[in-house]
Structure 1
Amino acid sequence: MDRPGVVLRSLRVGGIVLCYAVAFGPRAMGERLLGRQWARGGDRLTSLLISLGPSYIKIGQLLSTRRDLLPERVCEALSRLTDATPPPRRAQLERALGRAYRGQEWPFAEFGWTPVATGSIATVHRAVTLDGRQVAVKVRRPGIDRVMRRDFRLTALAIDAVKRLPMLTSMPIAVMHAQVGEAILRQLDLAAEAAALGELGRNLREFPWIRIPAPLPELSRDEVLVMEFVAGLVRAAPESLSKDARCAAGRRVMSAVYEMLFMDGLVHCDLHPGNLYIDGDGCLVILDAGFVIKLPEQVRASFADFFINLALGNGPLCAEIMIESTAGLAENSDLSGFRAALVELVAESTGTRSSDFNLAKFAGRLFSLQRAYGLFPVPEFAFPLLSLLVVEGIVQGLDPELDFQAEAMPVLRRRNMPRDVS
């Protein structure tokens, strides 16, 4: 383990948080007393996350879609995290690309050193290959892997310190942290992302309104991903679309996510506004396949069974699915109590519109019931829930009347039918 690096990183993180607390804490308290606690809080939180680095920026990007859980001003500020990270210097990029293509012919006839997109882990550049193809070149930020691995180690130490608290003893938070953390660290592997882009494209090829840029494996490297360039993109934001286009986009987003969850099991967990666009033909364009998870078949099947019975209002069967798929039972577990409580929760949630159905609160109540009645949840359920939580905020902005559960039914009906894999 990189102990000196972890210590230095912990000091830096602690120092940054302390500086922000000293600089803005008293002012924030004054604003709270005056009823203006959110006036600048979002800007300060955004600035803090940028200062802390890419691991924390990723968290902020996910939170930016949760306008139902956070104040509007905070979400607007966090949404700027998509483009807020300054790009590396050209000299750094030149060194990184020089290492990637060392001993080989430079593969680009033209290369735009000014990024067309700037992320917390990588920057994206427009280029032209030697044979004339327009491509996007994603270059991993130099040194970013070292910083993110240290952050992961820091959060693991924090989890180890708090997992023995009575309220957390029934939750496998260490396992969940390891799985989610490893998934985030996997975003550093651009070769794996190239493979995920290709598989997502094949899985969703039956949908003419979904476009996923094709990777070019022959030009890609561990630190560089070369893919098809898609021009004329606009973000899938409500203000940029007509009402009909917003409703259509909302349904298409949910159809794509449900196809991943219930049919393919390869799930994009990071469809925030920086990764989801609309092209000039009105097609959804899914970018950045770094945070893509392959669900175990049993998890995919159990999640699909639970969701279809939630949509149908079958609380008793939802309870049985959760019991059968649980990781274990506490000595004092109360399965009868759990069944009754979950039946009540399902009855409250069935058939609600997206403006009324809050997935975050539903998931929170579901996990609370598991803890209260002694059921240990399967950690792999975190990934499909995370995928839905991220897009829920976007879809609620596009079409507040959309029925999440009804939109899932066509995909759920097809999930046991044979597919043409030719």
Structure 2
Amino acid sequence: MRAIPARLIDLPALTLRCGRVSSVMFGYSVAFGGSAVAARLRRSPHARGLRDGARWERMLTRLGPSYIKIGQLLSTRRDVLPEEVAQALGRLTDTVRAPSRRRIERAVRRSYRDRPWPFREFSWEPLACGSIATVHEAVTLEGHRVAVKVRRPGIDRVMQRDFTLTALVMGVLGALPRLRQMPFRLMHAQVGGAILRQLDFEAEATSLLVLRDNLARFTNVRVPAPLPELCTSETVVMEYIGDLRRFEPGELALGTRRAAARAVLAAVYEMLFVDGIVHCDMHPGNVYLDRDGGLVILDAGFVIRLPEPVRRSFADFFIHMALGDGSMCAQIVIDSAAQVADDCDLDGFRSGLRTLVEDASGARSGDFDLARFAGRLFELQRRFGLYPVPEFAFPLLSLLVIEGMIKAFDADVDFQAEAMPVLRRRNLPRVSTSNRER
């Protein structure tokens, strides 16, 4: 989905959206601040202050889909957020308030207005409600049981306005003296544009097919097959997979948890390091266990294909980090940088990155913190004047989301050791499923 040209921006609507976002944030800032001060003054063990997860949930819900998506991704980091906050944000993954039945039915019937109605039965009560869509059970005219993902009515206008507002913020940041060399506009166009592409349901149906082909070698990973002939720009129709369970580590035996954690890592590494496909949205609302303990990936809206040079650079960086070779990691970052400042201290950067990699090499998930590692890496790049290509944000985002889930399931898994078998194949040409079957 392309950004709206500046001449077509609805300035009154944009102003109203800016006012709403500002008022909601201001109101909740006052509420959080007052609660935190009261909690400190009372010294009450029951005072929640900034740990009021329900309040965070309400705030993000009022702000709208772009902010709900942030909450969904943050909910996976239970190792970072207070449990009560992470648990509340977790409710945003598939229990967001649904539109009225009238609005859903009107949206679905409008999407099929130019073709015959394809369903014998359609359940207007959603099975799940996310930030961008609701999911419904239906039966086709041929009798096939399917799941239908329906885009929320009017969400495209809201998200486009949020995209424009954040573009303005990036422009202001890029004008600050210390940040002028940072490629904020390019980063916003890449990352923000990818978020907007979640509204393109025809592209998501294609991404489901790509994921199925990419993960076909994994017998314990399932991706529902889309029915392209029934999909529209506002609906994705796919096979129905029942008997799914939410990922709740405490309800599963240790062996099952470990198997699930390794299945997730194997699938993510295969997509990322071999094929350059990044799934940035693998939160518990999109990833389930079936009755046999297999992994089911239901959503493909936030799936990115990396440019080949970026895929190779990221995979090479990861394998050399696993090997503890900080010098090679530094050279990869330098060679792949989008911009190098004229006064860049390359020797200082190499020294700093060697220390960072030595600290991280061989760490297990309970000790290794990707968020802290990424933060230190970005700080090194900023300090010494090396700016990465914006596409590097996608694999980092994907791994940050996955890391939170893995730590909850198996604190002893070795991220780097699990990646090595895949990384050794990182630069080998892949034979697609269709070619293997010929």
TM-score under structure 2 normalisation?
Answer: 0.93
* Aligned equivalents of 1:31, 1:165: Cα separation in 2: 37
What aligned pairs does 1:22-421 form with structure 2 within 5 A after superposition?
22-33=30-41, 34=43, 36-38=47-49, 40-421=51-432
* Aligned equivalents of 2:295, 2:141: Cα separation in 1: 29
* Aligned equivalents of 1:40, 1:346: Cα separation in 2: 33
* Aligned equivalents of 1:31, 1:97: Cα separation in 2: 48
User: 1:23 deviation in Å?
Assistant: 4.2
Q: Which runs of 5+ in 1 are unaligned?
A: none
Q: Secondary structure of 1:127's partner?
A: strand
* Aligned equivalents of 1:310, 1:109: Cα separation in 2: 54
Alignment partner of 1:7 is 2:15: yes
Q: Secondary structure of 1:97's partner?
A: helix
Q: Secondary structure of 2:147's partner?
A: strand
User: 1:413 deviation in Å?
Assistant: 1.0
Q: Which amino acid aligns with 1:86?
A: R
* Aligned equivalents of 2:51, 2:327: Cα separation in 1: 46
* Aligned equivalents of 2:188, 2:39: Cα separation in 1: 35
The answer on whether the counterparts of 1:337 and 1:373 sit within 8 Å (CA) in structure 2 is: yes
The answer on whether the counterparts of 1:308 and 1:409 sit within 8 Å (CA) in structure 2 is: yes
* Aligned equivalents of 1:195, 1:89: Cα separation in 2: 29
The answer on whether the counterparts of 1:215 and 1:227 sit within 8 Å (CA) in structure 2 is: yes
Deviations, residues 180-236 of structure 1 (Å, cap 9, x unaligned): 111111011100000000111011101001100000010111001100100001122
* Aligned equivalents of 1:130, 1:68: Cα separation in 2: 47
Deviations, residues 286-312 of structure 1 (Å, cap 9, x unaligned): 111010001000000000000000000
RMSD value, Cα: 1.4
Q: Secondary structure of 1:235's partner?
A: coil
Deviations, residues 339-367 of structure 1 (Å, cap 9, x unaligned): 11111111100000001000011011011
**1:18 is matched with which residue?**
26
* Aligned equivalents of 2:338, 2:430: Cα separation in 1: 31
User: 1:28 deviation in Å?
Assistant: 2.7
* Aligned equivalents of 1:329, 1:40: Cα separation in 2: 41
TM-score under structure 1 normalisation?
Answer: 0.97
Q: Which amino acid aligns with 1:251?
A: R
User: 1:37 deviation in Å?
Assistant: 4.8
Q: Secondary structure of 2:150's partner?
A: strand
Q: Which runs of 5+ in 2 are unaligned?
A: 1-8
Q: Which amino acid aligns with 2:22?
A: G
Deviations, residues 316-374 of structure 1 (Å, cap 9, x unaligned): 11111111111121121111111111111111000000010000110110111111111
The answer on whether the counterparts of 1:28 and 1:41 sit within 8 Å (CA) in structure 2 is: no
The answer on whether the counterparts of 2:95 and 2:128 sit within 8 Å (CA) in structure 1 is: no
* Aligned equivalents of 1:372, 1:25: Cα separation in 2: 33
* Aligned equivalents of 1:293, 1:40: Cα separation in 2: 33
User: 1:237 deviation in Å?
Assistant: 2.4
Identity within the alignment, %:
60
**The 10-residue stretch of structure 1 (264-273 or 83-92) with the greater mean CA deviation from structure 2:** 83-92
Q: Secondary structure of 1:137's partner?
A: strand
* Aligned equivalents of 2:235, 2:20: Cα separation in 1: 29
Deviations, residues 236-277 of structure 1 (Å, cap 9, x unaligned): 221231100001111111111111111111111110111110
The answer on whether the counterparts of 2:28 and 2:59 sit within 8 Å (CA) in structure 1 is: yes
The answer on whether the counterparts of 2:35 and 2:49 sit within 8 Å (CA) in structure 1 is: no
User: 1:155 deviation in Å?
Assistant: 1.3
User: 1:24 deviation in Å?
Assistant: 4.6
Q: Which amino acid aligns with 2:154?
A: G
User: 1:166 deviation in Å?
Assistant: 4.0
The answer on whether the counterparts of 1:113 and 1:125 sit within 8 Å (CA) in structure 2 is: yes
Q: Secondary structure of 1:128's partner?
A: strand
The answer on whether the counterparts of 1:39 and 1:73 sit within 8 Å (CA) in structure 2 is: no
User: Residues 340 and 419 (structure 1 numbering): CA distance in 2 closer, same or farther, change over 3 Å?
Assistant: same
Q: Which amino acid aligns with 2:247?
A: A
Residue-pair matches, total: 422
User: Residues 103 and 316 (structure 1 numbering): CA distance in 2 closer, same or farther, change over 3 Å?
Assistant: closer
User: 1:4 deviation in Å?
Assistant: 1.1
Deviations, residues 78-131 of structure 1 (Å, cap 9, x unaligned): 111113421111111121112111143211111111011111111000001011
The answer on whether the counterparts of 1:262 and 1:415 sit within 8 Å (CA) in structure 2 is: yes
